[in-house]
Each structure stands twice: as structure tokens, then as C-alpha cells.
Structure 1
Amino acid sequence: MRLLLTTDTHLPGRARELPAELLAEVDRADVVFHAGDWVDTATLDLLESRARRLVAVFGNNDGAPLRARLPEVAAVGLGGLRFAVVHETGPARGREERCAERFPGVDVLVFGHSHIPWDTTAPGGLRLLNPGSPTDRRRQPNCTYMTAEVAGGRLSAVRLHGLPPRRPAAGDDAAGGPPGRPRAREDR
């Protein structure tokens, strides 16, 4: 079973559309995870229409229309593993222990918020995965997303994909968004 993990798409503030490479992965994936901060319902509509199965949550930047359609935490069993999805996990320091305590019985936790890719394993075996953001790289060299495989109760082939730099459209600022739009800061 092929998985696509993404989060923090922030459309249209961080990009006008999702990268073509990410959309191609949506079409190839058996399950798409999105860990929140969609910002617009059009992106949710798009992924719902293209993904074979979408497991998704809202994030701190998502307003009432998205919160009405998505949970804060999602849980699903896939291929013998228990997955949970949440947007925020708090500061990096102590994350593994905090998440293992908050999500007992979960094998893989997909999260977002920081736009910083993360792949660690907590004591007790909980795997924590943050795919970064496909539209806002922040301090990272590239915008990113992750793919993985699930078979026989095992997660394998976890891969972080870096996207090529976007070329700003006419009228965009150097950050790739609409002119004059402030760049939000979030807790790391």
C-alpha cells in the first residue's frame, strides 16, 4: 500500500496551486494523509476528488468551514498498523515522549505545523513523521512531502521528497505568494 504524506499547504497564501509533482503522487497513492493548515476548502475538495482515500485533519490556520468538515485528530488502521494524524505536537524538545504518551497504541503519527520535516521513533516504537510543506519551505532547502509503503504490518520505504524551487508568477513577491502578504511564524 503506497502512502503520501503532506501538510501545511496554505493555499493560496503560500502558492497559487499544489505542485504538479505532489498531485501526481496523489494519483499514485492508495492513501493520502494531510496534517492540516489547508487554509482553503478548494484544496480539500481537490484532494477528496483525486485521492483514493484521504485521512486528514484541520490545523491552527484553518477556519470554520474546514473545521466543520475535518476532525482535530484522525485515526485509521492500515495494513496492520495504527496511524494517527494531528496538526500540532508542541515544541521539538520532548516531542517523542509527549506524543507516545498522548497517542498510546498508535504505531505511526503524522503531524505538521512547523514546516520542518521530521522522522524519529519514540521509546516504545511510535514513529513520528512530519512531511514538511509542499508550498512553504521556511528555513529548509526545499519544499517537501513524504511517501511510504505499508505491507505486512510494517512501514517501509519512507522517503522525503524535495520539490524544485517555484518560479514566482507575475505579480508575486520573492516568497512566491501574493504581493504584500505577511509570512506567518509558528512555534517550532
Structure 2
Amino acid sequence: MAAMRILIFGDTHIPERAKEIPEEFKKYLEGSDIVVITGDLTSERILRFAERLAEKVIAVRGNMDHLPLPHSAKFRVEGYLIGVVHGHQVYPRGNREQLEDIAVEMDVDVLISGHTHLPDIYFGKKILLNPGSMTGVWGGGAFSTKPSFIILEVEGEKIGGTLYRLDKEVVGEKFLVKEINRLADKKVADDD
């Protein structure tokens, strides 16, 4: 069985702060089984784009979104329960302790969030993934960042992936989770 491939991105802010997803990223986006969007799409156009990339799209509402999206989502991949929030519920932005608390409250192994516009991969009590801003636009910290996204791969008990950043050219940084604190007897509907 091949690994389940999950494309994770967010904070595109198209068309308000950026016109397009960087052309250099597009060849990396094909072939995903699931697309996860961490919010602040700010246009339905990005949702339609994601729907062309994978049959299953999970998107949550960011603080700048007016689309009728949920504030959080949960889904299962292999034996892992994965949660998604935008992250604007956390202050200061990206606070790992508060994000881990949200992961515990949601009863998930992995929590995917955005809002900071800065990529972050953290293995603590829970796996915390933040893909950063796919367009690299400025955020609440009034700075622009390097465009970035994550491809997560799950195969059986193995979970890892690649953080991609655009810095003149696309650079990938691989990560692998060696051990995860598992929650016992979790149940979630397949379509959550």
C-alpha cells in the first residue's frame, strides 16, 4: 500500500494580499490524496483550486475568511487522528503550549494550524504542524515571509513529510516522526 499523501497549506490571502500561488510550487501540488487548508483562503477561488488537486478537501475558517467553513475539523488517516484549526484562537500567535492544549481538547494525535504565516514543525506531547503562508504574504506581525507548504505522508505507523519553502528556488526539508504519544480508543467518523 502506498503512503497517503496530504497537501497542507494556508494563509494565501488571495486576492487581497497576493495574486497567485507561486508558479514554482505548482509541480509539487499534484498527486495528493487529501488537501488540508488552514484558513485565510479569503476567496472561494482557492477552495476550487484545492478541489482540483484532490478528491477530499478539508478547509477551516480563518479570521479573515467569510466563507461558510467550519472553525475546526477532524479526520483519520491510517491510525492517526488529525485535527485542523486556523490558530487565531491562540495568543501569542503560534504558542505551542496552547496549541498542544487544543490538540488534547480535540483528542487528536496531530494538530495542523496556520495564522502565524511562519512554518513550524514541532514534536512534543502532540505533533504540531504549521505550513506557513503559501504565498508568503505579510501577517499580523506586519512582515512578509518566504512562501511555504507541507506535504505530509502517512503509511501504517510511519508519519513524516517535507516542508517546502520558496527562497529563489524551491527547497524541501524532510521530517520524520519517530514516536507519538497515542491516545487510547479514539473514534471519529470517516467523513468528519
Bucket of the pairwise TM-score, normalised by the shorter protein: 0.7 to 0.9
Pair 1:46–1:161, CA change in 2 (3 A): same
Q: C-alpha separation between the residues in 2 aligned to 1:55 and 1:141?
A: 24
Q: Give runs of aligned pairs for residues 133-144 of structure 1, distance below 5 A.
A: 133-138=133-138, 139=143, 142-144=146-148
Pair 1:141–1:114, CA change in 2 (3 A): closer
Query: 1:185 matched to which residue of 2?
Result: none
Pair 1:137–1:87, CA change in 2 (3 A): same
Question: What per-residue deviation string (whole Å, max 9, x for no partner) do you get for residues 52-77 of structure 1?
Answer: 321110100001xx1x2x11101000
Q: Give runs of aligned pairs for residues 1-188 of structure 1, distance below 5 A.
A: 1-63=4-66, 66=67, 68=68, 70-88=69-87, 89-91=89-91, 95-104=95-104, 105-123=107-125, 126-138=126-138, 139=143, 142-156=146-160, 158-165=161-168
Query: 2:180 matched to which residue of 1?
Result: none
Structure 1 length normalisation: TM-score?
Answer: 0.75
**Which residues of structure 2 form unaligned runs of 5+?**
170-192
Deviation of 1:39 after TM superposition, in Å, equals: 0.7
Pair 1:165–1:41, CA change in 2 (3 A): farther
2:47 counterpart SS class: helix
Deviation of 1:3 after TM superposition, in Å, equals: 1.5
Q: C-alpha separation between the residues in 1 aligned to 2:45 and 2:158?
A: 33
Pair 1:43–1:142, CA change in 2 (3 A): same
Pair 1:101–1:11, CA change in 2 (3 A): same
Q: Higher strand proportion, which one? A: 2
Q: C-alpha separation between the residues in 2 aligned to 1:76 and 1:21?
A: 29
Deviation of 1:94 after TM superposition, in Å, equals: 8.5
**Which residues of structure 1 form unaligned runs of 5+?**
167-188
1:28 counterpart SS class: coil
* RMSD of aligned Cα (Å): 2.3
Asked if 2 retains the 8 angstrom alpha-carbon contact of 1:57 and 1:74, the reply is yes
**Displacement over 6 Å in runs of 4+:** none
Asked if 1 retains the 8 angstrom alpha-carbon contact of 2:12 and 2:137, the reply is no
Question: What per-residue deviation string (whole Å, max 9, x for no partner) do you get for residues 21-71 of structure 1?
Answer: 4333332211111100001111112212332321110100001xx1x2x11
